[in-house]
Amino acid sequence: MPNRSIKSKARAGSLQLTDCLSSLFALELMYPSPEIYLISPWISNVTLISNRFGQFRTVMGDSGEGDLRLATLLKTLAEKGVKVRVMYRSKHQQTEEFLNLLPENIERRGIETLHEKGLITHHFYLRGSMNFTFSGVNLNDESVELTTDQQDVALALLEARQRWEALPL
């Protein structure tokens, strides 16, 4: 199924969204893309995978974490050779705190007017209203669309790459 729409309703519908995000990051951990673009005005170190029983030990190593958070997942992907690029809205305290958790090999660019939200890899393109924060993932009413259609994914990657290269350092 190349396209899937997910509408989360505060608390009740967020399980479908969190399951989707867990699956997408698990896919990337097992079969890493050469590059990943995380695009979100606001970002926090939100829990994305529950690892309380150690079921992700094979792909995460012995991280010792019960829950796998966004910064840990991005760091692990970067360690696997993935070019991780983060676009965010500058001058937001919560986002700045998140960025301070990331190692230097994860590239980042602040855009003062950023409103777009998405996650783009060579496997999929996730886009919609959700910021990568606790509220965006778990609390707010959100609407996201996931596509695995290779033409859509390739176009999204190309556009993200061009946008990235046009941004000042």
What stretch of H or E contains 76? helix 70-79
Do the domain assignments include residue 168? no
Residues in the chain: 169
Domain of residue 57, residue span: 3-163
What stretch of H or E contains 6? strand 3-8
Do the domain assignments include residue 58? yes
Do the domain assignments include residue 59? yes
Instruction: List the pLDDT tens digit at each of the 169 positions of the chain.
Output: 467 777 776 555 568 888 899 999 999 999 999 999 999 999 999 999 877 766 666 666 666 567 889 999 999 999 999 999 999 999 899 999 999 999 999 999 999 999 999 999 999 999 999 999 999 998 888 899 999 999 999 999 999 999 999 998 7
Do the domain assignments include residue 169? no
CATH number at residue 41: 3.30.870.10
Split into its structural domains, the chain has a count of 1
- What is the pTM for the complete model shown? 0.90
Do the domain assignments include residue 21? yes
Do the domain assignments include residue 128? yes
Do the domain assignments include residue 104? yes
Q: Using CA atoms, how far apart are residues 61 and 75, in angstroms rounded to an integer? A: 13
Q: Which residues, including other chains, have CB under 8 Å from residue 127's CB and lie 6 or more apart?
A: 116, 117, 118, 119, 144, 145, 156
Q: Using CA atoms, how far apart are residues 59 and 77, in angstroms rounded to an integer? A: 10
What stretch of H or E contains 152? helix 150-166
Do the domain assignments include residue 126? yes
